[in-house]
Amino acid sequence: MLKTNAIRILAQHKIQYEELAYEANDKFTSGVDTIAKLNLDENLAYKTIVCHNQNKYFVLVVPVAKEIDLKKAAKNIGQKTLELIATKDLLPLTGYERGGCSPIGMKKLWPTFIDKSAETLDYIYVSAGKIGYQVKLNPKDLANLVKAKFVDIEQD
């Protein structure tokens, strides 16, 4: 499997993980398509969303099959408002492209929030930093690595 920046960081920090890959053509694949290709439980697969509030950036990790509630997320992370960043800004800001954005190994460690639904799970799946690659790991290990907090951010 390709050693992405996210995979290298997990190995450097001796965090237990499992790599998964599927055939991809390096074009955007939705999270729902990804879980179907890998035959994953949608309740264990999470997507990475990058938002901003003026010049402040935030990383949100939410269940892949759910929508994010930006008002609720803003309130629960202590912000007045949040907006999704433009797709064209994702690569320059994070180092990752749409469909392969991992919460691990971005160019900068932005304030990160993982939906509270992951907190009690033994493991979750997140992008490994490239379209076609996922990583399975313990959500608490992920939170410790990226200094994330667990908050309620998914749509009811």
Which residue ranges make up each domain of the chain?
5-151
* Distance, CA of 148 to CA of 59 (rounded, Å): 9
Given a cut of 70, is residue 1 above it in pLDDT?
A: no
Task: Say which DSSP state 154 is in.
Answer: B
Domain formed by 5-151, architecture? Alpha-Beta Complex (3.90)
* Tens-place pLDDT, residues 81-117: 999 999 999 999 999 998 899 999 999 999 999 999 9
Element (H, E) at 28: none
Q: What is the mean pLDDT of the chain?
A: 91
Instruction: Please state the separation of Cα 46 from the chain's center in Å.
Output: 6
Q: Which amino acid is at 27?
A: K
* Tens-place pLDDT, residues 125-151: 999 999 889 999 999 999 999 999 999
* Tens-place pLDDT, residues 51-76: 999 889 999 999 998 888 899 999 99
Q: What does residue 120 show for φ and ψ, rounded to 5 degrees? A: -100, 0
Q: Which amino acid is at 49?
A: I
pTM of this structure: 0.91
* Tens-place pLDDT, residues 26-52: 666 677 778 777 878 888 999 999 999
* Distance, CA of 18 to CA of 91 (rounded, Å): 25
